[in-house]
Structure 1
Amino acid sequence: MGGETKFHPYTAKSKRKQAAGDAAPAAPVGATVVAQFKSPEGEVCGPPLNLPADVNPEQLALLLNNLLQNEDPLPYSFLVDDTEITQNLHVDIIQGLQRSTEDLVTILYRPQAVFRVRSVTRCSSSLTGHTEAILSVCFSPDGTQLATGSGDTTVRIWDLATETPQFTLEGHKNWVQIVAWSPDCQILASGSMDSTIRLWNPKTGKPIGDALRAHSQVITSISWEPMHLNENCNRFASASRDGTVRIWDATLRKVLMTLSGHTGPVMCVKWGGDGLIYSASRDKTIKVWESTQGKLVRSLEGHAHWVNHLALSTDFILRTGPYDHTGSTFPDRSTAHAAATKRYNAATANGTRKERLASCSDDFTIFLWEPSTGKKPITRMTGHQQPVTHLSFSPDGRTIASASFDKSIKLWDAEKGVFISTLRGHVGAVFQVCWSSDSRQVLSGSRDSTLKTWDLKTKKLKIELPGHADEVYSVDWSPAGDKVASGGKDKVLKIWKH
């Protein structure tokens, strides 16, 4: 940010100086700048305009909405050379970037989410029931139910309307580290350290048949096939420490394909929106498979240590499928499938915006890839000083948040992989990060027993949420943005609201 001094011991004083000197950098009376609006896709919008140098973002939005002939005005953010205009054109660009008023300035505009997610500020429920640590929390795609997996070998489903326990699912013989909802919310899959996967009916809490046995070691990750690719929502991929990925048919309850090729435990699997499956392993590679015959498409190499986690730029849209923040319901599968396809096409600009993959590793780095086009990384992102354990793309696909054992969260531009900012405040390792559905806030859960929400615009701590008695292992933000759930070592599930 322009003029901000990092780690300066006299911030209060320097702020005062700035305030006193604020009159100096005001734009000269009558100064103008010739500017041209450009869309994220690179299309020019309208003719070059002669704008007053002190034009602010609100005025630019007014102007752009007129140019684009939007019936309802939409919110936009404006950037010049990757610098956002926050005060006005003169302060941020002419002075901040030392640009001449003679130059033609190209202003990149980005549409923002029309709805706003309110910040969660209080714990509305502390739900007991699990007798060991909670290892994973996950909202259903439609946001009506919540599932938790625990060290007590059970899975629990919670009713979010009343914030009460709904079902306890018993059957696993060891810790349940993974819970994953099918895109149509009809099946909940759980993966355990007992090497089995179990399927449950979340509406009744009953098991769907017996355990699925094929892996020989701990289940580390489960990912369902996105709804826009398969309206029956019956296929999912599972990863295990046995080094394989298996593709299952949930209705036939059998393995369709086994993807073997990794020489170490597979820690994460993702089923992408273009029909590719991505797997990350402790053999330091990421493998890309096609999902119809299970062929290996390419191997992505570059990490110098274990690959811990993968995130896709399409994650949010794949997770929510047909369900948006309005709480829509669908009479049958085909209308839901059509809605999911429409949302996916809108999010990927009908396939012109390629799916990005980000991987994080114990080598302290993050790599950004475009796996459909090649095996060379777009960029390598460095800056963390400890293993990077988790990362997450914002729902609009523009920003990546990464969590590390170095107690910080870092924000990166998802287009070029450029570093944006470090969010400091946790005093213990950060285990997980996730986003609000409007891409304006980041949520983190840490070993220091707190959750924190961070504001993407100010790059500062928004709200601290203390309350857990011990380490927070897993956090999730509901797809509609109205609730946050967290669980950890103190065995208590907490629901947070505005």
Structure 2
Amino acid sequence: MKLTSPVIIENAHDDSIWTATWTLAPEDSAPILLTGSLDETVRLWDPKKDSCIRTNTGHCLGVVSVAANPSCRMAASASIDSFIRVFDVASNNTIATLEAPPSEVWQLQFNPEGTILAAAGGGSASVKLWDTVKWKEIATLSIPRPEGLKPSDKSGNKKFVLSVAWSLDGRHVACGSMDGTISVFDVTRAKFLHHLEGHCMPVRSLVYSRVDSRVLFSASDDGHVHVYDTEGKTLISTMSGHSSWVLSLDASPDGAAIATGSSDKTVRLWDLKMRAATQILSNHNDQVWAVAFGPPGSSLLASVSDDKCIAFYQYS
């Protein structure tokens, strides 16, 4: 896989862009990029025209996560204002507004069937799950408190949950914490299964393989990308190269590569067979908060940054 030189959209938002995800236009199945920014908006982009389709408002503070439902009809955005806004992609009409205590909503992710929305629960050391029909909270997946730790012991904040990901088969949810641990849950039984260890700093981003439900990728402030066998509870490999925090990663639809974004201002493309970076792109001039591969068949990758820019790459 090789990325072409990107098309850059400058000043795509009025402030830092922290999150990005792809969906398909309901009317013609063309790929659309959704971005969220500290300017409190979510914007929809047409990569063919390199233009903004629509700007969505509704949050009172910066948008930290956007997630698209596999149905392509709805998406959700989370903000520092501790609200999740679920909206219709085509009309921008609000479908639901979900509230959580301050700093209790970070990354969002729909399950592969689109029936459950998961939210990384911040200081609650948990992942909250909502059904997507009645928008009722159906479960809170809590990370077990270490033995001997009193409920009032503030050191529990080390389990502050930053990231969340669903397995390909929808059976498991993984979440990454400030202390570098990754927790894996059985969703059907709402049961904690085990920790995955190896990182020594916050785990900012998680994504399961698009072709194997056992394989999980993680990105951390320690500068490393890890590949885990979640069922075998083993670290398969470690990939290093970024000179600073790895803030984001995504897996390609064909399972052959991953892309990462870092506070070292670069985007890297990694070949999973070689377990090495095959391309380093330095098109941003500030830290890269999100990278996202487009839908299968689109051959697209996007990255967003504190520099307020969006970069669209083609790959082959």
- Interval of TM-score (by shorter of Structure 1 and Structure 2): 0.7 to 0.9
Q: Secondary structure at the match of 2:6?
A: strand
Q: 1:200 to 1:409 in 2, by over 3 A?
A: same
Which segments of 5 or more consecutive residues in structure 2 lack a partner in the other structure?
146-156
Q: Which residue of 1 aligns with 2:40?
A: 153
In the TM superposition, what is the alpha-carbon distance from 1:261 to its structure 2 partner?
4.6
**Would the aligned equivalents of 2:256 and 2:273 in 1 still touch at CA under 8 Å?**
yes
**Would the aligned equivalents of 2:162 and 2:204 in 1 still touch at CA under 8 Å?**
no
Instruction: Provide, for residues 209-255 of structure 1, a one-character-per-residue CA deviation record: whole Å limited to 9, x for no partner.
Output: 5633354544113232432xxxxx45423343352544434454x42
In the TM superposition, what is the alpha-carbon distance from 1:447 to its structure 2 partner?
1.0
| 2:82 partner letter | S
Q: Which residue of 2 aligns with 1:267?
A: 162
Q: Which residue of 2 aligns with 1:497?
A: 314
Q: Which residue of 1 aligns with 2:121?
A: 240
| 2:38 partner letter | G
Q: Which residue of 1 aligns with 2:281?
A: 465
- Measure, in 1, the Cα distance between the counterparts of 2:72 and 2:57: 20
Kindly, what percent of the aligned residue pairs are identical?
Answer: 26
- Alignment match of 1:440 (pick from 250, 256, 261): 256
Q: Secondary structure at the match of 1:122?
A: coil
Structure with the bigger RCO (C-alpha within 8 Å, sep 6+) is 2
- Measure, in 2, the Cα distance between the counterparts of 1:217 and 1:386: 19
Q: Secondary structure at the match of 2:107?
A: strand
In the TM superposition, what is the alpha-carbon distance from 1:387 to its structure 2 partner?
4.7
TM superposition score normalised by structure 2: 0.77
**Would the aligned equivalents of 2:178 and 2:203 in 1 still touch at CA under 8 Å?**
no
In the TM superposition, what is the alpha-carbon distance from 1:476 to its structure 2 partner?
0.9
In the TM superposition, what is the alpha-carbon distance from 1:275 to its structure 2 partner?
4.8
Instruction: Provide, for residues 319-351 of structure 1, a one-character-per-residue CA deviation record: whole Å limited to 9, x for no partner.
Output: xxxxxxxxxxxxxxxxxxxxxxxxxxxxxxxxx
* Higher helix proportion: 1
In the TM superposition, what is the alpha-carbon distance from 1:200 to its structure 2 partner?
1.7
Q: 1:207 to 1:406 in 2, by over 3 A?
A: same
Which segments of 5 or more consecutive residues in structure 1 lack a partner in the other structure?
1-117, 228-232, 303-366, 368-379
In the TM superposition, what is the alpha-carbon distance from 1:266 to its structure 2 partner?
4.0
- Measure, in 2, the Cα distance between the counterparts of 1:458 and 1:290: 33
- Measure, in 1, the Cα distance between the counterparts of 2:238 and 2:187: 35
Indicate the RMSD between aligned Cα atoms, in angstroms: 3.2
Please say if 1:288 is aligned against 2:201. Answer: no
In the TM superposition, what is the alpha-carbon distance from 1:131 to its structure 2 partner?
1.0
In the TM superposition, what is the alpha-carbon distance from 1:449 to its structure 2 partner?
0.9
In the TM superposition, what is the alpha-carbon distance from 1:196 to its structure 2 partner?
0.7
Q: Which residue of 2 aligns with 1:8?
A: none
Bigger mean CA deviation after superposition, 181-190 or 436-445: 436-445
Q: 1:268 to 1:388 in 2, by over 3 A?
A: closer
Question: Which residues in structure 2 correspond to 1:216-235 (within 5 Å)?
Answer: 216-227=102-113, 233-235=114-116
Please say if 1:188 is aligned against 2:82. Answer: no
In the TM superposition, what is the alpha-carbon distance from 1:208 to its structure 2 partner?
1.7
- Measure, in 2, the Cα distance between the counterparts of 1:215 and 1:391: 23
Q: Which residue of 2 aligns with 1:119?
A: 2
| 2:16 partner letter | A
- Measure, in 1, the Cα distance between the counterparts of 2:289 and 2:37: 11
Question: Which residues in structure 2 correspond to 1:368-447 (within 5 Å)?
Answer: 382=198, 386-397=201-212, 400-411=216-227, 417=234, 419-420=236-237, 422-424=239-241, 426-447=242-263
- Measure, in 2, the Cα distance between the counterparts of 1:269 and 1:406: 18
- Measure, in 2, the Cα distance between the counterparts of 1:169 and 1:258: 29
| 2:209 partner letter | S
- Measure, in 2, the Cα distance between the counterparts of 1:285 and 1:421: 15
Q: Which residue of 2 aligns with 1:133?
A: 16
Instruction: Provide, for residues 108-159 of structure 1, a one-character-per-residue CA deviation record: whole Å limited to 9, x for no partner.
Output: xxxxxxxxxx421211232433111111111126661111111111111112
| 1:194 partner letter | D
TM superposition score normalised by structure 1: 0.51
**Would the aligned equivalents of 2:176 and 2:204 in 1 still touch at CA under 8 Å?**
no
Please say if 1:476 is aligned against 2:287. Answer: no
**Would the aligned equivalents of 2:165 and 2:208 in 1 still touch at CA under 8 Å?**
no
Q: 1:457 to 1:270 in 2, by over 3 A?
A: closer
Q: Which residue of 2 aligns with 1:309?
A: none
**Would the aligned equivalents of 2:139 and 2:190 in 1 still touch at CA under 8 Å?**
no
Q: Which residue of 1 aligns with 2:66?
A: 179
Instruction: Provide, for residues 298-329 of structure 1, a one-character-per-residue CA deviation record: whole Å limited to 9, x for no partner.
Output: x3455xxxxxxxxxxxxxxxxxxxxxxxxxxx
Q: 1:139 to 1:259 in 2, by over 3 A?
A: same
- Measure, in 1, the Cα distance between the counterparts of 2:16 and 2:229: 34
**Would the aligned equivalents of 1:235 and 1:248 in 2 still touch at CA under 8 Å?**
yes
**Would the aligned equivalents of 1:145 and 1:157 in 2 still touch at CA under 8 Å?**
yes
In the TM superposition, what is the alpha-carbon distance from 1:465 to its structure 2 partner?
1.3
Q: 1:212 to 1:394 in 2, by over 3 A?
A: closer
Q: 1:199 to 1:286 in 2, by over 3 A?
A: same
Q: 1:428 to 1:213 in 2, by over 3 A?
A: closer
Q: Which residue of 1 aligns with 2:154?
A: none
* Higher strand proportion: 2
Instruction: Provide, for residues 392-424 of structure 1, a one-character-per-residue CA deviation record: whole Å limited to 9, x for no partner.
Output: 443332765443334343556678535445342
Q: Which residue of 1 aligns with 2:98?
A: 212
Task: Report which of the two structures shows the higher radius of gyration computed on alpha carbons.
Answer: 1
Q: How many residues in Structure 1 have an aligned counterpart in Structure 2?
A: 291
Question: Which residues in structure 2 correspond to 1:304-319 (within 5 Å)?
Answer: none
